[in-house]
Amino acid sequence: MLLQSAIRNLSRKQTSISSTLLQFSTVTNKSVTVTKNEHFTIFPKRHVTLPLANHFSSSPPTNRSFSTESSSKPYENATNAFPGALTNAELLTKLTTTLTNAGYDTTKTLVATSLCCDEVNRPLETDLSNAFTHNFNMGGLAGFPFGGATSFGAMAAHIPDGGSCLVVYGPHVGVDSTGAVGTVERRGKDHGGSCCGSAVAASGYVSSVYNGTTTESAAPGSDPLDAQQYYVGQMLLPFAEKLEAAAAGNEKMTALPKYLYEAQSEFIQRILKASGKAVGEDGKIAVLGGIQVNTPPGYTDYYQPLCFNLYDCHGELIEELW
């Protein structure tokens, strides 16, 4: 009787957990692997039974769209600073129309972006993903395609059969609520900050080297700790004199993304030459380059297109689309 009573009391304390986790770690520092139709028990504090048989469904998960796209409200200060800039919505409409006319099938198109890892740039990636289903990310600090030739080759291997790819790249710059270029208000912060911070830091480094107040930084070698920022600065160094001239005219923040764009365009061309063949003889490579313009909360972001070209798998220009 005592044994039966103990069993009944223990059963009342059992906790049934519904979960689809396949691996579970507990405070006992023991890792427990769970497979379909199995139960497991965790000791010493609590007896836990985990029935999983009813939680493995053969039906696919429900498709859900989580969009972070910016507001559609226009922001005049953005187009004043960067003439010809399009809202994200305008860009997507023009982009998809142009690609369709060029023979692209959007259902067989893989988009690869090289945009700065700053969170303010994600709305454009979200819009591109909504239009082309998926997004392959090649970008790093300041928008440079630090994924390099290897990432492009990997992306090309993911293109749907019979399809082609679209590469969208470029630096970004903020325009705040006062119209100031190079800064932008951010969610949850009382004051704005540099935008792009990596670009501003690199321009400071370039200015110091140009004016002789510091020497060029040593290559990072085998230490990846801040390698991307080092290369942003190095690839901006050839534009030191132009940046100093722009600074003298109080136009440094509008000039900075333009020179970053030029440096990135050269980098993109090298990647196409090195890895373009991975797209395949029947595939095409559409490349859109420009400058992202980030705006205050409540307004749409912009993109100033500076080139839109179509290449074959050898990196040879087929057509200037814009």
- Whether the ω angle into residue 171 lies within 30 degrees of 0, i.e. cis, is no
Among the CATH numbers 3.40.1050, 1.10.3470, 3.30.56, 3.30.70, which is that of 76-320? 3.40.1050
Tell me the average pLDDT across 110-139.
94
Q: What are the tens digits of pLDDT across the range 127-146?
A: 999 999 889 999 999 999 99
Q: What are the tens digits of pLDDT across the range 49-95?
A: 333 333 333 333 333 333 445 567 899 999 999 999 999 999 999 99
Question: Which residues face 288 on adjacent strands?
Answer: 168, 308
Q: What are the tens digits of pLDDT across the range 272-318?
A: 999 999 998 889 999 999 999 999 999 999 999 999 999 999 989 99
The domain limits of the chain are: 2-55, 76-320
- Burial classification of residue 208, based on how many CB atoms lie within 10 Å of its CB (0-12 exposed, 13-18 middle, 19 or more buried): middle
Q: Which residue has the tokens 């540099």?
A: 194
CA distance 305 to 256: 16
Residue 190: what pLDDT? 76
pLDDT-derived band at 48 (thresholds 50, 70, 90) equals very low
Tell me the average pLDDT across 203-222.
94
Q: Phi/psi zone of residue 135: left (φ > 0), alpha (ψ -120 to 50 degrees), beta?
A: beta
For residue 165, which amino acid is it?
A: C
Q: What are the tens digits of pLDDT across the range 246-272?
A: 999 999 999 999 999 999 999 999 999
- pTM of structure: 0.77
Please list, residue by residue across 213-251, b when 16 or more beta carbons sit within 10 angstroms of its beta carbon and e when fewer do.
eeeeeeeeeeeeeebbbbbbbbbbeebbeebeebeeeee
Please name which of 221, 35, 226 lies closest in space to residue 141, comparing C-alpha atoms.
226
Please name which of 168, 169, 186 lies closest in space to residue 177, comparing C-alpha atoms.
186
Q: Phi/psi zone of residue 103: left (φ > 0), alpha (ψ -120 to 50 degrees), beta?
A: left
